[in-house]
Chains A and B, each alone.
Chain A
Amino acid sequence: MTKITFVSFDGTTRTEVDAENGSTVMENAIRNAIPGIDAECGGACACATCHVYVDEEWTQEVGEPEPMEEDMLDFAYDVRPTSRLSCQIKVRDEMDGLVVHIPERQS
């Protein structure tokens, strides 16, 4: 199992979850009822309500968004260089220990 930590927008709550490889970071947030991830469209890369900031230490491993995801990020709030849509991040072994930060609000 790969561990992922979700950090609340104010930094006060850190929740570590076990994630299956091949699942998406969004699915793990929903499964574990992480507040602040809405995922309205259910993972179709069509809504930008599962926006997260990948921790600086992890941006290289996680990688850049695809053009379609980048387009969808236009609809997110307070987009930063580390922004990703969590439904488009597939969990793999190398991501063990991944930390993602929840934005203040979803769009």
Chain B
Amino acid sequence: MSEIIRTDVVIVGAGPVGLFAVFELGLYDLKCHLIDILDRPGGQCAELYPEKPIYDIPAWPEISGQALVDRLMEQIKPFSPQFHLNRMVTKLERQADGSFRVETDEGEIFETKVVVIAAGGGSFQPKRPPVPGIEAYEGTSVFYSVRRMEAFRDQDVMIVGGGDSALDWALNLQPIAKSLTLVHRRAEFRAAPDSVKKMFELVDSGGIRFELGQVTGLKGENGQIAAVKIKDSDGEKELPATRMLPFFGLTMKLGPVADWGLNLHENLIAVDTEKFETSEPGIFAIGDINWYPGKLKLILSGFHEAALMTQAAKRIVSPGERVVFQYTTSSTSLQKKLGVQ
């Protein structure tokens, strides 16, 4: 078992609002660990629209999603936040002393006085293709990622998609699979040209079967697929397969947050507008994931929520201590923390 990480604040989600929370909390000496399912900070800004300009960040007439993230990372640097990426928080429990125990799917354990949920639209998870009845096969013969390559050895593997995940796994699993079929709806691929070239070489040598078409249905029983129905320009046909890997990109799901016993409002976490605290004292929710009357899903609203949340978080972490509100323009102590004094 890994060592327990003790901290003041665990922030779930490293999007713009989670990042700015590090700044506000840092001004009050609260140390933060951030956990995010993506492999880099920035959330939707970095994942969905890194190059899209945003026009409603105060004082930035135009800034791209990635530039905003880069600036925030620069701004919070003095507070040395610790990032735990490629991880999902699976468990959140209150302990006898009122603090929280947070666990991730990578086995890390955190003990923290405050939890800030800044999970935006939820966690990015593989998109389930809208194939009727696919749920019945998930986890047994239909997978959205490859955790263990051995699970595909000597299987009739079908990979669906035209991006890097689809092509990379087609090339990696081809040597150990009994057969490998790649299904994509068109002859163009988003994947790296080199992978596409290698794939077509394998098609020519008979190592990979390439099918132009779209998956419309599955056949099988007891969680085990036997064949996949493919629709192409000539109609529908069935191809045998014992394992399927659909790669249809990512979508956002609330995920385990829904099981933490917090009051929800239509899949969003209900909070008050003084502290942005959830129905569980000590657990806050800021940014797109929260709801209160009048809520707008704007990055700037999330920044405001982070500032107000911090006042309440400080009182939990340092009970009895007077919380002094100061300005970064004039406070020498804040400037010291920012490393500019």
Contact = CB atoms under 8 A, between A and B. Distances in A.
A44 B248 contact: no
A78 B121 CA distance: 26
Given A40-B251, A70-B188, A78-B214, A107 B52 contact: no
B49 A75 contact: no
B251 A47 contact: yes
Given A74-B163, A77-B130, A44 B185 contact: no
B110 to A, nearest CB: 30
Contacts of B336: none
A77 B163 CA distance: 16
B248 A79 contact: no
Given A74-B163, A74-B185, A107-B248, A79 B214 contact: yes
Contact of A40 (B186, B214, B252): B252
Interface of A: 40-41, 44, 46-48, 70-71, 73-75, 77-79, 105-107
B161 interface: yes
Nearest to B252: A40
Contacts of A107: 127, 129-130, 248
B236 to A, nearest CB: 12
Contacts of A105: 130
Interface in B233-270: 248-249, 251-252
Contact count band on B? 20 to 34
Contacts of A70: 186, 188
Give the 6 A-B CB pairs with smallest separation, nearest first: A46-B48, A77-B130, A44-B49, A75-B249, A71-B190, A105-B130
Nearest to A105: B130
Given A40-B252, A107-B127, A74 B162 contact: yes
Contacts of B161: 74
A41 B48 contact: yes
Given A46-B48, A74-B162, A79 B130 contact: no
A105 B184 CA distance: 19
18 contacts: A46-B48, A47-B48, A47-B251, A70-B186, A70-B188, A73-B185, A74-B162, A74-B163, A74-B184, A74-B186, A74-B248, A75-B127, A77-B130, A78-B216, A79-B214, A106-B130, A107-B127, A107-B130
Contacts of A75: 127, 248-249
Interface in B182-207: 184-186, 188, 190
A47 B216 CA distance: 20
Given A74-B163, A74-B184, A44 B190 contact: no
